[in-house]
Structure 1
């Protein structure tokens, strides 16, 4: 439902005041943080994959999981980890997925 703006005049300038509508369904559907750009730590990836931090260190060091270093510490793109999980699942099923 569209409501026309109300106006007021301050110091000779006409100021329009538009009403704000909140759409609860849209607010639920939209994420508050974009996970595509989310960067994870070793601990977060270990928790996410349900493995030990040592396993993640080993995989990252062997370049078997997508990772990069920032200031000498490993970091992981959540989008890359999700794609890696999908790839691992396809390989485990013989590529039939």
Structure 2
């Protein structure tokens, strides 16, 4: 696994920057959508590749 494995996981702050939205938006998506988020202990973690697929699928659009 090594260091590369750990680079695959990002937190809410990094996910919000990656998606160019606020942290509150990411938190709302966790509650209201099927954003690919993984709760590890008390923290939410994301994989960039899963976020990319989620955005491409159109699921990030909230009416």
| TM-score range for the pair, normalised by the shorter chain length | 0.7 to 0.9
Give TM-score scaled by structure 2 length. Answer: 0.74
Gaps of 5+ in 2: none
The structure with more strand, counted as a fraction of residues: 1
The structure with more helix, counted as a fraction of residues: 2
Give TM-score scaled by structure 1 length. Answer: 0.50
Larger radius of gyration: 1
**How many correspondences in the alignment?**
56
Moved over 3 A (4+): none
Higher relative contact order, chain-length normalized (CA < 8 Å, sep 6+): 2
After superposition, the CA RMSD in angstroms is 2.2
